[in-house]
Chain A
Amino acid sequence: MSETLLSMRKITKRFPGVLANDEISFDLFKGEIHALVGENGAGKTTLMKILYGLYSPDSGEIYIKGKRITIKNPKEAINGGIGMVHQHFMLVPPFTVLENIIIGEETKKFGLLDESLPAEKIKALMEKNGLIVDLNSRVEDVPVGLQQRVEILKILYRGAEILVFDEPTAVLTPQEVEDLFKTFRQLISQGKGIVFISHKLDEVLEIADRITVIRKGRVIKTLNRDEATKSLIAELMVGKPVLLEVSRPDVKEGPAVLEVKYLSLQDYRKVNILTDVSFTVHAGEIYGIAGVEGNGQTELVEVIAEAAPILHGDILLNGESITNWDVRQRREAGISHIPEDRHRYGLLLPFSLAENLTLGMHHKEPFVNRFQIINKNKIREHAKAVIEKFDIRTPSELTTALALSGGNQQKVIVARELSTEPKLLLAAQPTRGVDIGATEFIHNQLMIAKKEGRAVLLVSADLDEVMSLSDRIGVMFKGRIIKEFEREKTTKEEIGFYMMGEKEHAGN
């Protein structure tokens, strides 16, 4: 094989109570795309943060082009030719694209900031790599896919040869993913090397030359592309065979449970977040909302779950308008909600599992007596039963929610929201940041809910998830549902097309 760009040898990093990286060795060749896969918490991000100088390793060595270096901070990483596109973009939204690219590598003219010379340099980079962005737009006005281009331009501007992409496709539509992969190929043809971190195995198999699987801080195996299969990688990641396909029960659709009619919502600046959104979810149906994040999905779920002042429109539950009901009325009428941000809205992290599992029912018997005094024993009994039923991995029901892994925290929420036997379940990003095992479990729970005749509204940024679970799919773009599909009658590519608003005026 060709020249080695990067070699990390026996990197070990210990955090209090966790061995995040246990003698991890990792190589990157010139002109190669090397995928790094593993469950959340397996140690991928820690390893890359060490490479980028954000953490210092307890032991281990890093070589760049055969030369040993120590990287104490990002500046040294940049100087060593390492560039990173972080999972959460490191951009300054109110600044222009140009400013974002040059921060830290500015050019001066007479002591003042010079923008003309960098602009020329960046334009040359944009043309060479097919990454066109308007340099004078503010980043906050630029769509997510283009923001990522800004991030790539940022690292190319610094002359990086080792490019690390931490879950770059999570926020992209399928077409944008194709564009990104084109860019990848373009970059490796120039002799650069790419580390591609992802948990989307199809994408890894499509683009990577080699695949390194890590689990619990250790390298399990490095595979060449021709020896890798999806199920093999998944098994290596989890440590046991995984069922990747969800089995879909055949359920006869019932009456309409949730009806949203011409719903419009504005933010404090009087800008429309939702515009005339209408759709219906039936009993025994999973209705999926696909769309690039930030197109109104979050607000749509919130306005159904909570009371919010809407501009106009109506929300009906079993034919009855609930638009003016408060949250408790809605919950008691049978709405459950798995919120998008589990830490902020889903759990009380410093509280015990028992308490978290009774939230929302805590004011009702048997959890309180008729004087509203809490009955701790009943809460614990209930928790024990739910933990058993939903297979939540915890030392005890008195453990705090904080102490659990992300997957188990999410299971706690799913368990609580389903234990009320809701008529309508709102599931917003139910498997975000959750490991494969818990994802499988949560998907099965959604299928069970469907089988039991519950209506489910699923919102997910993961198009594969929406495609595999939903019966019907609505595509949201700029606060509208611009197209609705039957699951069998569409393709990922078609939905992706609408997600970008390309057919905004064509259909519907």
Chain B
Amino acid sequence: MNFGLILFFLVKGLEISAPIAFAALGAVFSERSGVVNIALEGIMIVTSFTIVWASLALNSIWMGLFFAVIAGMLIALIHAVVSVTFKVDQIVSGVAINILAFGLARFLSQKVFGQETQTPTNPHLFPQLLGINSMAFVLIPIAIIAWFVLYRTVFGLRLRTVGENPEAGDTLGLNVLGLRYAGVIISGAMCGFSAATLFPSQWISGMTAGRGYIALAAMIFGRWDPIGAILASLLFGYADTFRIMFETKIPIPSQFVQMFPYILAVVVLAGMVGKARAPAADGKPYEKGED
């Protein structure tokens, strides 16, 4: 195997991991604040449509990114309103958003571009670096920032407090619901970056292909930690890269090879049972003054 191929594999793997990693990073913030965000998949659908739409409309991929981030935050806001304020089961809310997002993107595509399942191609792209989408490299500084925010800032300490023991946060004068909103909305914003690294040149219905769920799995495998989540995302991303590069060279039906990252996710998570510890109040709505 030559050096060029290895370098290509390494760089390509980063590009393929990036959408998962950004979403997983966002999920860390949501879950550390106490809100399970299974809506990642749906948010990613909407952001990956928005980035193409806004790029085409405003002739700039940067505007596309801006509006994708905004769209991600808005969809996340729905999840926050429903599950934090109205205390609807977080899984139910997330699943509802995923279904809604699937339809919403198709509806908008039909309205805007006259075709339901795909948009025209978007000529405005991010600059290339080492032969891949340069946005993938943004992952590295963002991961470092995320780690600092979570563990070295007042906001991070408070966010983790309401994810572990919201009642304690409340008695210390923290704004429990506000912090949870912040956690969920950060995860929506991160899905904007997922869209930027997924496939900003066109939106095709179904193109997220479960990456939101894989991101959730990566976040769990990464033990609710930003660096862990990134490493787990890289594992899944590289597994997928390997699949793409060698699919045709392996004498196994390609459908089975395509299952590889997902089977890996199941196996890895099953192996984690009893080892990982979720934030204690993760998934539980906070009722004030409960006795």
Contact = CB atoms under 8 A, between A and B. Distances in A.
Interface in A78-109: 78, 84, 86, 90-95, 99, 102-106, 108
B174 interface: yes
Given A92-B165, A94-B164, A113 B153 contact: yes
Interface string A24-54: 0000000000000000000001000100101
25 contacts: A49-B289, A52-B171, A54-B171, A73-B173, A74-B171, A75-B173, A90-B165, A90-B167, A90-B168, A92-B160, A92-B161, A92-B168, A93-B164, A94-B164, A94-B277, A103-B161, A103-B168, A103-B174, A104-B169, A104-B172, A104-B173, A112-B148, A113-B153, A113-B154, A113-B157
Given A106-B154, A113-B153, A74 B161 contact: no
A103 B153 CA distance: 11
B19 to A, nearest CB: 30
B257 interface: no
Contacts of A52: 171
Contacts of B174: 103-104
B146 to A, nearest CB: 14
A55 B291 CA distance: 12
B287 to A, nearest CB: 12
A78 B171 CA distance: 9
A67 interface: no
A345 interface: no
Max chain A Cβ within 10 angstroms of own Cβ: one of B156, B169, B172:
B172
Contact of B171 (A45, A90, A99): A90
Nearest to B288: A54
Interface string B277-291: 100100000001101
B148 A78 contact: no
Contacts of A154: 172
B289 A55 contact: yes
B158 interface: yes
A95 B172 CA distance: 15
A52 B170 CA distance: 11
Contacts of B289: 49, 54-55
A93 B280 contact: yes
A250 B172 CA distance: 53
A74 B168 contact: no
A104 B289 CA distance: 19
Contact of B164 (A55, A74, A95, A268): A95
Interface residues of B, number: 25
A26 to B, nearest CB: 20
B273 to A, nearest CB: 9
A112 B153 contact: yes
A103 B158 contact: yes
B87 interface: no
Q: 7 closest pairs, A vs B, by CB?
A: A75-B173, A104-B172, A90-B168, A106-B154, A92-B164, A268-B274, A90-B171
Nearest to B151: A113
A112 B152 contact: yes
A239 B74 CA distance: 58
B168 A91 contact: yes
A111 B153 contact: yes
A108 B154 contact: yes
A112 B154 CA distance: 7
Contacts of B158: 103-104
Interface in B138-168: 148, 152-154, 156-158, 160-161, 164-165, 167-168
A74 B171 CA distance: 5
Interface in B72-128: none
Given A90-B171, A102-B157, A104-B172, 13 more contacts: A45-B291, A55-B289, A78-B173, A86-B171, A90-B167, A91-B168, A99-B157, A103-B174, A106-B157, A111-B153, A112-B148, A113-B153, A268-B274
Contacts of A74: 170-173
